[in-house]
Chains A and B, each alone.
Chain A
Amino acid sequence: MRRALPLVFLSFILLGGAYLAASLSLSMGTVEQPGAGLFPVVVGVFILSLSFPGLLGSLKPGKASQVRDSVFPRGKDLRRIISMVLAVLLYALFLPYLGYGICSAFLMAAVLRLLGMKNWSKTAAAAALTALVSYLIFVSLLDIPLPRGSFFS
């Protein structure tokens, strides 16, 4: 994580470059009647024109930005963040198949454990209760159609 800021600017260069290339394949139209590609081309050039100086600036030795990379967590704290992201990703992947209830109970259990709940039975009870109550509130009270899961239908 030492070079997080240059990596971010590099990502914007890649994103801006790919976006500009895709924009150029759209119709530019004429000055009187601009096409769908004109504005994206301007935006792509704008992103690239900012990302390059940003990258060069962040690579200068002794830049405060490099020192500030220490703001990212390390070790156990970093693993917790990655696990949280993975838990949500798995939630999104399984939601169409297992439905809201089961996925939410598992997500809640994962979050509770990751954020410090030690007792397994308490975790399971809290996760199941949250999933059930939230399902009743969203579906019965607020009339929000939540996925039931193709596995069960």
Chain B
Amino acid sequence: MDSLQGLIYGFGVALAGTNLMACFLGVLVGTIVGVLPGIGPIGAMALLIPSTYSLGPTSALIMLSGIFYGAMYGGSTTSILVNVPGEAASVVTTMDGYQMARKGRGGAALAIAAVGSFVAGTMGLVGLMLFAPPLASLALEFGPPEYFSLTLLGLIFLSRIGSSSALKSFLMVGFGLLLGTIGMDAISGVPRFTFGNLELGQGVELVPVAMGLYGIGEVLIIAERITGIPELIKVKFRELFPTSAEWRKAFPPMMRGAGLGFFLGLIPGPAAILSTFASYALEKKLSKHPEEFGRGAVEGVAGPESANNSATAGSMVPLLALGIPFAPPTALLLGALTIHGVQPGPLLMGKHPEIFWGVVASMYIGNAVLLILNLPLVGIFASILRLPQHILMGLILLLCLVGTYSINNSFLDIYILLGMGVVGYILRKLDFDMAPLILAVVLGPILEKTLRQSLFYARGDAWALFGRPYTAILLSIGLILIILPPVIRRLRRIRRINNT
């Protein structure tokens, strides 16, 4: 099946009743959690995984990915109208979006953000269709050593480009790997670190860990300060039309943001967030009037808002083609698929074309729905912020507890949720990045399984294991990523001392 045939087939799948409903529900929830500062796409996805049990794997993935890219749209609304980013990938938009709103161009900023998100999201999907099939074909040649190297590289990459120091990020990887080893050993069947508890024998679930770190952790951070209801800048429908000069300024950054975001999405890391900062820096550098940035520059909204949407499409490529998530939201998508008994990877397109092409087509539909939701209905979404904080936090807390309990009907999961919430709160306050932890919980079992399989197949011969071309390249990149930054830092320090 070529890409065009696949897409036509995918539209047939995505437009089927349940899948269309799942898509609409996903992007709606995504927009709402994007607007709300208390809960991000990761928390919302973790929360809704149990509710997808009654759905098929295709509908489940359509709904959960809808939350992921839908949140990128919703996040810009509050950044522009309230100066409060709904989620981390919209922080950059506050710089110029809110300034535009203060100058009476809030409607134009919202329209540019929504259209940019739509254009870039659609371009990202074209990239996904072009990149994923050949990458999956290439991955068919991969054996356990290549998967081991790729997984290891993913963890190293994320730790190196994360928001906290490398030491803290690597420690989070270690903690995540530790959590991933709790439970029955998948190969020998030996229980590990379960203290005789049968429930722990099933292992630590991803959902209580993710909900604890992001849901409960966030509630505790918000609960530190009691704040009032934020003041909203009101925008009328007729103000939602940018001038032709604003469109001309916005178009090139949208295109650049789409390209940059997609390629950043392909590499491990918090691509949606990184892409916005990278796009903003790029636009400022290319601008003839960099002094306008931070004072309401159209380019400062168009570029980053396009980049984060395109990055979500890019980050789906490694998940759907290789079966390896490189970011926490795609790790949750992997978790959801595994619950439904589907193993993503190079064989997904052949074995389950309805999932791959159905999800791709649903993302086209979802992007169009989001454009409609986020422009004429922007006032309704922004007014969600008028909900008193204590009610909102209470509801999030209840949702976290119910969502966690309903996975296995386990009381133990609630204790894990609370424990991870407290751990997440403390670690986040001390600048530890949670993304490597989440990813390591998901990738840890893959890393262990592929390492043991590799050693078994190689009969203990390290050269047979690490001397394979792809393995050697991937591990060399990983080694360079570990060694190079401290070496560069030391050289710079020596040069600075020599200069003084």
**Which residue numbers of A lie inside 8 Å of B, CB to CB?**
4-5, 8, 12, 15-16, 19, 22, 26-27, 30-36, 38-40, 43-44, 46-47, 50-51, 53-54, 57, 65, 68-69, 71-73, 77, 80-81, 84-85, 88-89, 91-92, 95-96, 100, 104, 107-108, 111-112, 114-117, 126, 130, 134, 138, 142-147
Contacts and interface: CB of A to CB of B under 8 A. Distances in A.
29 contacts: A4-B426, A4-B429, A8-B426, A15-B178, A26-B192, A27-B188, A30-B460, A32-B460, A43-B174, A43-B181, A46-B174, A46-B177, A54-B167, A54-B171, A68-B431, A80-B223, A81-B220, A81-B224, A84-B223, A85-B421, A95-B405, A95-B411, A100-B402, A108-B398, A112-B390, A115-B390, A116-B389, A134-B402, A147-B405
B50 interface: yes
B430 A138 contact: no
Interface in B198-220: 216, 219-220
B402 A39 contact: no
Cβ-closest 4 pairs across A and B: A115-B390, A31-B460, A47-B174, A36-B185
B205 to A, nearest CB: 15
B402 A111 contact: no
A130 to B, nearest CB: 7
A47 B171 contact: yes
Nearest to B216: A88
B390 A111 contact: yes
B147 to A, nearest CB: 15
B370 to A, nearest CB: 24
B390 A39 contact: no
B391 interface: yes
B466 to A, nearest CB: 14
B393 A115 contact: yes
Contact of A34 (B224, B394, B421, B451): B451
Contacts of B105: none
A25 to B, nearest CB: 10
Given A32-B456, A92-B415, A115 B389 contact: yes
Query: For chain B, what secondary structure do more than half of its interface residues adopt (helix, strand, loop), or is it mixed?
Result: helix
Nearest to B440: A43
Nearest to B411: A96
A8 to B, nearest CB: 6
Contacts of A85: 220, 418, 421-422
A80 B224 contact: yes
Residues of B in contact with A, size category: 35 or more
A95 B175 contact: no
A51 B172 CA distance: 11
B369 interface: no
Given A81-B220, A89-B418, A146-B402, A116 B226 contact: yes
B476 to A, nearest CB: 20
A143 B54 contact: yes
Contacts of B455: 31-34
Given A26-B192, A32-B455, A43-B181, A88 B401 contact: yes
A24 to B, nearest CB: 12
Given A73-B224, A81-B220, A88-B401, A4 B391 contact: no
B442 to A, nearest CB: 15
Contact of B174 (A16, A36, A111, A147): A16
Contacts of A34: 451-452, 455-456
Given A38-B452, A72-B429, A115-B226, 17 more contacts: A8-B427, A8-B430, A16-B178, A33-B455, A36-B185, A39-B452, A47-B174, A57-B167, A68-B430, A92-B414, A96-B411, A104-B401, A111-B394, A115-B394, A130-B395, A146-B402, A147-B405
B171 A4 contact: no
Contacts of B401: 88, 91, 104, 107
A96 B409 CA distance: 11
Contacts of A89: 418
B193 A22 contact: yes
B459 interface: yes
A36 B451 CA distance: 12
Contacts of B160: none
B495 interface: no
B170 interface: yes
B397 interface: yes
A104 B193 contact: no
B406 interface: yes
A111 B394 CA distance: 6
A125 to B, nearest CB: 12
A15 B423 CA distance: 13
Nearest to B395: A130
Interface in B156-206: 167-168, 170-171, 174-175, 177-178, 181, 185, 187-188, 190, 192-193
Contacts of B390: 111-112, 114-117
A31 B175 CA distance: 25
B448 interface: yes
A36 to B, nearest CB: 4
B225 interface: yes
A64 to B, nearest CB: 10
B338 interface: no
B137 interface: no
Contacts of B383: none
A152 B175 CA distance: 40
Contacts of B395: 130, 134
Contacts of B391: 112, 126, 130
B223 A4 contact: no
Given A81-B220, A143-B54, A107 B430 contact: no
Given A34-B451, A85-B422, A47 B175 contact: yes
A93 to B, nearest CB: 9
Nearest to A111: B394
Given A34-B452, A142-B51, A4 B430 contact: yes
Contacts of B175: 12, 15, 47
A15 B388 CA distance: 40
